[in-house]
Structure 1
């Protein structure tokens, strides 16, 4: 008895993985940088926590709105292309059939087989065949604005909560050290997990994310230190 082997490919994870990694990474870096910048200005512990909490809320809303608008624009473009393709199929099907066959020829099929494949696919779901092979739109990769927005907001909040918890638990005298160290660990773990999920080397992902996070935190802390006298005086 022949059994069907169902394969799972990493491209099926691209949509949610991109939004999740971007959200969590942004949450850690922006909130940790904000906390370090405010702390470097000699602000009180409570002021640092308020700034971090406000940064978490503002960042989550900003990520959700930005991701929704961006992915909605992609979805609008996909919808317009599909509607145009639907119209062309209704008004000039022979041309669309020849166009689909030509695509398969460029992928290595001979003309006769390409035309046979095009005929069979268009007999089933012509629009789906053209959307997938002509437009590059598939169920796996198509735009989902609400999903992307919610994922970004949720993962940003989780990421931002990590340095905020570190700031909450840290003694005032070593708050900056605790937040910076914890955030770099979080970033390295996140980068490694994202790389592994996407099929890339974990070490490369960890170093890449941690480096840019350290740079962002260092620059922001330096800016905060410039205003140390004015705020703390």
Structure 2
């Protein structure tokens, strides 16, 4: 080592770590949708019932019915929706499996062309396509041609359970508020706490999905407030007319 040149300790870069949300998009979407719908629908229902002049017993009955019906509706709807997606994915995979068995050379050229379109040299694209198809041809075509992979695969049961549980959790909050709020203050307390809960939920969902928190919080809060105002007005009109 030359003594005139100071020794410089090499700096090694820390391990690169990234946090992606692809592996939780499905259940995150179902959970956020369920909780958001649980808070909004039950809070709006209770506000409408309260504005009509209903008794505490009537509000409790309506709230419990809304919780049960909403949870079942969310679960069934989510299961049917995601099951349809899963059926479509299986049909695409079956078709691709048959095409690979019937025309392997054409499918090989198709896969190589995909890599060329993404920037690889034709010779390298041919080599990559050959190696990937030799390992698992269907997996390679499912991922590159169809955009399907294990992370984003449709899971109906998981989505249904997440929706039902999330809706029940969200719905339980305004129901509990309506039961425990002081007499004569049910409407303002229910509206304020429900709106704050919606704003918090929107912010947390955005944070979990690496999205802007303020935008999501303002969006869900403003739309929730609009829904509550409209429902309360309808309940008041019904109460006055009846």
The 4+ residue runs of structure 1 with deviation greater than 2 A are 3-8
1:172 deviates by 2.7
Mapping for residues 1-233 of structure 1, pairs under 5 Å: 7-231=18-242
Secondary structure of 2:235's aligned partner: helix
CA distance in 2, matches of 1:36, 1:208: 21
Residue of structure 1 in register with 2:11 after alignment: none
CA distance in 2, matches of 1:206, 1:7: 25
1:113-146 deviation line (CA, Å, top 9, x unaligned): 1111111111111111111110011111110011
TM-score between both structures, scaled by the size of structure 2 = 0.91
Q: Does the C-alpha gap of structure 1 residues 90 and 149 become closer, same or farther in structure 2, counting only changes over 3 Å? A: same
**Number of aligned residues:** 229
1:137-193 deviation line (CA, Å, top 9, x unaligned): 111111001100000000000000111111110123111111101100100110000
CA distance in 2, matches of 1:216, 1:171: 23
Q: Does the C-alpha gap of structure 1 residues 108 and 196 become closer, same or farther in structure 2, counting only changes over 3 Å? A: same
Structure 2: segments with no counterpart, 5+ residues: 1-13
CA distance in 2, matches of 1:215, 1:229: 21
1:30 deviates by 0.3
More helix by share: 1
Select the structure of larger CA radius of gyration.
2
Q: Is the 8 A contact 1:45 1:172 kept in 2?
A: no
1:60-89 deviation line (CA, Å, top 9, x unaligned): 000000000100110000000000001111
1:229 deviates by 2.7
Structure 1: segments with no counterpart, 5+ residues: none
CA distance in 2, matches of 1:80, 1:52: 42
Q: Once structures 1 and 2 are overlaid, which stretch shifts more, 25-34 or 105-114? A: 105-114
Secondary structure of 1:199's aligned partner: coil
CA distance in 1, matches of 2:18, 2:187: 47
1:4 deviates by 8.0
TM-score between both structures, scaled by the size of structure 1 = 0.95
